[in-house]
Structures are given as C-alpha cells and as structure tokens.
Chain A
Amino acid sequence: MNAEAFAKKTGFKTVCIPSPDKEVEGVYIGDLLSWVMGKAEQGNVWITIMSNINTVAVATLADTSCILLAEGVMPDENALEAAKTKGVNILSTPLSAYEAAMKISELLR
C-alpha cells in the first residue's frame, strides 16, 4: 500500500504528502533520533511525538515511508517546510502511539 492510500484508509490527517507513492511497510515507534536511525526499517511508518526539523532529516536518511505524529502533535513551520522540499510525508492523529499502531496493524495485517 502506498502512503497516499494509507492516509486515506486510516483517516489520519494529511499534513503534507509530497511522496504519495512511497510503499508503507510496518511501524517503528520512538522519539529518540538515534534509536530511530538504528532500528527503523525502510518503508516503516514512524510514529513519534517529536515534530521538529530534525525528525525530517532522520526520516529522509532512514527511508521511512511517513512520519505519523501522535497525540495531535503538529510540525513546526521549519519542519513542514523541510518536509515539503525533501519529500517527507507527514501525517497526524489525535490517537496515542499505541492506539495508532493498533489501527495500522489491523489495516496492514
């Protein structure tokens, strides 16, 4: 499933989706950037509450399919701008990371 279809099916709010064709596979949850760098796999939905510009760089380098901001978090201006130019998809949901992961798990099963 690509990122665009994923956003539609989950109903997560699309903050920006400059790379709609990225394949979505699996989930990684974490807020510490080096853990994400070391552990997230290509195509993962990365669920986090970290919304600063550095998450955009990490998503680019770790090849995640999208950043999913949990708990209703929204990116700051810098982060959003960088995401658009670097082709990083950002979604947002009022759900907790746990609830969001449950929802994704049902969909990707």
Chain B
Amino acid sequence: MSDNLVFRFDVQGNDFTSAGQASVQVKKNLRQLGLDADTIRRVSIAMYEGEINMVIHAGGGVAEVIVSEDYIEIILEDRGPGIKDIDQAMQAGYSTATETIRSLGFGAGMGLPNMKKNTDSMEITSTIDVGTRIVMRVML
C-alpha cells in the first residue's frame, strides 16, 4: 500500500485578509499532483467553504487534506461554539453571519450546501461550546 499524502493548515479566526489561503494552497498542491480539473475544483470549493466557516463562525481551526489512492479527504476541526441544529444549518440560505461579515460577501448561507454538493460524502459532528468536526470525501 502506498503512503497517503497529508497537508495540514492552521486557519486563523476572524482574519479576512488571509481567509481562503489554505484552500488556495491545496489547489496548487493538487494541481502539481496532476489530478483532473473537476476533482480539484470540487475539493477547492468544499474546502474553501469549510475554511471560511472556521474563520467566521468558529474563531479558526485546523484543516487537513489527505490524498489517498482512492479519495481525497478533507478534515476540518475547530473549537468554536458548535452548531446547535445541523439540519437547519444545512438549509440553503440559513446563516447566522453578522452584517459586517455579509458586507464582505460572506454569509449567503450556501456554504454547507456547497460542501455537500461538491463531495461524495460529508459528515458533521458538532457539540455546543466544544467545537465542530467535518469530514468530507471526494472519490477519485
């Protein structure tokens, strides 16, 4: 069995200048690996939305991308406030983002739906006042 490739990033909370940097880096890395454009795009979109959520809703976190032979796995983990009602959060248009955050173009409430749409599997575990962990997979 060949070794998996792992990319790991610290995502700064409430830093809107560098927000998305981890995703842009991952995209670059995946390109260098020669993966097909559609796969790269799906991973990029899913990861960006998850990264932004950690920035705006969770005070930052850690992102890990694992490239295996059969799939790319994105793991996003934060120690933010957690998500009270995951079904509600998954609804298109639902957002708790503030006016300030919306004025930057975020907070459309389409992040989690975009993540779901662009991945083959997505699992959210969240505990109030403890944090949120999201594991997504894109099959190769």
Name A residues whose Cβ lies closer than 8 Å to a Cβ of B: 31-35, 37-38, 42, 50, 52-55, 57-58, 60-63, 78, 86
Contacts and interface: CB of A to CB of B under 8 A. Distances in A.
Contact of A54 (B19, B37, B41, B49): B19
B114 interface: yes
Given A32-B105, A32-B108, A35-B108, A53 B17 contact: yes
10 contacts: A33-B106, A35-B110, A37-B45, A37-B49, A53-B17, A57-B24, A61-B23, A61-B24, A61-B27, A86-B24
Main secondary structure of the interface of A (DSSP, over half): helix
Interface of B: 16-17, 19-21, 23-24, 27, 37, 41, 44-45, 48-49, 52, 104-111, 113-114, 117
A38 B110 contact: yes
Contacts of B49: 34, 37
Nearest to A56: B20
Contact of B106 (A54, A61, A63): A54
B57 to A, nearest CB: 13
Contacts of B44: 61-62
B13 to A, nearest CB: 15
A61 B20 contact: yes
A49 B64 CA distance: 33
A33 B16 CA distance: 13
B27 A60 contact: yes
Contact of A58 (B20, B21, B107, B110): B20
Given A38-B117, A52-B104, A57 B19 contact: yes
A34 B27 contact: no
B114 A38 contact: yes
A57 B104 contact: no
A11 B64 CA distance: 43
